[in-house]
């Protein structure tokens, strides 16, 4: 996500993003002992001058929207 785009949401958005990343990292750390197939793992997050990068687990089957359009419902 571009920092230029983030600035449009005001100064508090960076703190909100940091909190969201912290929650994802906490879930990821807990999943090492008990993996959950419904939560994607976050491996790292870093900020450059222009972007925020999230290093996430690869999901080979695609996103939730694509899976639901193929299967219509999940078990």
Tens digit of pLDDT at every position of the chain (75 positions): 556 676 777 777 778 888 888 888 888 777 777 777 777 788 888 877 667 788 888 887 777 788 888 888 777
Contacts of 52 (CB under 8 A, 6+ apart): 1, 3, 6, 17, 45, 46
Q: What is the pTM of this model?
A: 0.58
Q: What pLDDT is recorded for position 54?
A: 86
CATH code of 3-71, in short, is 3.30.200
Q: What pLDDT is recorded for position 1?
A: 56
Q: What pLDDT is recorded for position 13?
A: 76
């Amino acid at each position: 996500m571009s920092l230029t785009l983030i600035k449009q949401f005001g100064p508090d958005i960076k703190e909100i993003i940091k909190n969201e990343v912290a929650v994802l990292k906490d879930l990821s750390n807990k999943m090492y002992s008990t993996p959950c197939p419904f939560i994607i793992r976050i491996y790292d997050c870093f900020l450059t001058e222009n972007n925020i990068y999230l290093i996430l687990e690869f999901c080979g089957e695609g996103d939730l929207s694509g899976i639901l359009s193929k299967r219509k419902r999940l078990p």
